[in-house]
Amino acid sequence: MDDITRKLARMIVETRPADIPATALHAARRSIVNWFGCVLGGCRDDSVQALLAALGPFSGPAQASVLGTGQRVDPMLAALANALSGNILDFDDTHADMVLHPAGPVAAALVAIAESRKLHGRDLLHAFVLGVEVEARILDPRVADYKFAWSPTTTVGAFGAAAAVGTVLGLNAAQMSWALGIAASQACGLRETGGSMAKAYNAGHASRCGLVAAMLAAHEFTGPERALEGPNGFLAAFGSPLDPGMIVRDWSRDWHVTRNTFKAFPCGIVTHPAVDAALQLKRTHRFDAEAIDTVALKVHPVALRLTGRRSPSSPLEAKLSVFHCVAAALVYGRLGVPEFSLTCIQDPRVLSLRDGMRGEQVDTMPIDAACVEVRLRDGTALRLDLDHAIGSASRPMSDADLSEKVSSLAHGVLTQQRCEALLERLWAMETLEDSGDLAKLAIP
């Protein structure tokens, strides 16, 4: 394929809002709703404070909100800060077919410029769908094997932001191709950053780089002609879909955004089936933690391999301990961000359940399934076999679930009333004359 970059650019600029079906638009809305929740949940992290302390003094005109805070900064810094916040809790969206969290870099860039441009909500949604589409199409799906040092969300995130912002800015095809080219040469992000603040910074950096790339291209700043397919281009450097021609296949009916999924629990995705089963047992049978005698899990082998940690000592470790996750779910009847605090990690009731819990790997069990058995002290035996965890592609979170997730994450940041107003606008964003209203509602 000789002309991928230019063809892709042309496809982006030639797609009209009416070309995108309602299913894709609704999937986009759900992705953006989920992203706002993640941002509100992450915005009080130390890393956001450190970022604003370091770079805030160099901000340009205050045209955009740092969501969840009272601060206003320039759009580039806002995109950086908000995409960073949205990634901190590892609670963001996941494409069902690849290790990619597509929403953050795209949504952050769009929301950052919405406030100063009076961007119609319909146009924001349209641009978001295109940005996500570009990210997913150019990613080498082998990243799922984690064979590369790259952090996939970051490498393609700048492309998504550039395509989305470029759409909003009305770039012509040549400019769009430059924007993609400038983004290509800024593609970066190492997985080695995991466990440090630099990991969530990657998502922010990608968003900022894409936003800048589109703005440069709008001012006739040129990029390479063959940024993707050229011999020293993005696909050569970062790996390529097996058939690069698929990057420019017709997209009128099948949009990647519809494959986006949302986590119900802020912990390793392989723990979710067991957590979900435990919560269902707890809700159905309403037992107290003290009434529990023993707990036994049957899970897919990879669940124990990745999250078989017995005694987590930090929130980050607890997210990767299926034993903590299930114990906390059984004790509290829920598993949100607070259930990963040190208080909960050290709660004697959690410790008692966690340490006595049996974990068995079942090679024939699908990765999306789990079995949880709870024996109560009175002899009652409870058991739940779960086929698909909530939040998976087969059993997606409902819109109401997503709203509840946002409310829960916004707790302590926004008043309940304000959060409800935000959610109402988010679900109806295509009717908003000025999508900048979303950001204005997402600050205390």
Q: Report the interface residues with its own copies, using CB under 8 A.
A: 46-47, 50-51, 53-55, 57-61, 74-76, 148-151, 154, 178, 181-182, 184-198, 201-202, 205, 212, 215-216, 218-227, 230-234, 236-237
Closer residue to its own copies, CB minimum distance, 27 or 203? 203
How many Cβ atoms from other residues are within 10 Å of residue 288's Cβ? Answer: 12
Q: Are 186 and 209 in contact (CB under 8 A)?
A: yes
Closer residue to its own copies, CB minimum distance, 217 or 279? 217
Closer residue to its own copies, CB minimum distance, 1 or 382? 1
CB of 259 to its own copies, least distance (A): 26
CB of 16 to its own copies, least distance (A): 26
Sort 398 into a burial class: Cβ within 10 Å, 0-12 / 13-18 / 19+: exposed
Q: Are 88 and 200 in contact (CB under 8 A)?
A: yes
Question: Which residues are 132's β-sheet partners?
Answer: none
Closer residue to its own copies, CB minimum distance, 56 or 301? 56
Return the DSSP state at 269.
Answer: G
Closer residue to its own copies, CB minimum distance, 195 or 412? 195
Q: Which amino acid, 122?
A: R
**Strand ranges across the sheet with 292-299:** 358-361, 292-299, 370-376, 381-386
How many Cβ atoms from other residues are within 10 Å of residue 116's Cβ? Answer: 15
Closer residue to its own copies, CB minimum distance, 162 or 441? 162
CB of 232 to its own copies, least distance (A): 4
CB of 156 to its own copies, least distance (A): 13
Closer residue to its own copies, CB minimum distance, 135 or 373? 135
Closer residue to its own copies, CB minimum distance, 179 or 327? 179
How many Cβ atoms from other residues are within 10 Å of residue 198's Cβ? Answer: 15
How far apart are the C-alpha atoms of 30 and 206, rounded to whole Å? 22
C-alpha to C-alpha distances, 299 to 33, 310, 381, 395, nearest whole angstrom:
31, 15, 19, 18
How far apart are the C-alpha atoms of 101 and 146, rounded to whole Å? 14
CB of 198 to its own copies, least distance (A): 4
Q: What is the secondary structure of 182-210 as a DSSP string? A: HHHTT---BGGGTTSHHHHHHHHHHHHHH
CB of 17 to its own copies, least distance (A): 26
CB of 335 to its own copies, least distance (A): 27
Q: Are 382 and 281 in contact (CB under 8 A)?
A: yes
CB of 374 to its own copies, least distance (A): 38
Residue found by looking up tokens 């998502």 in the block:
203
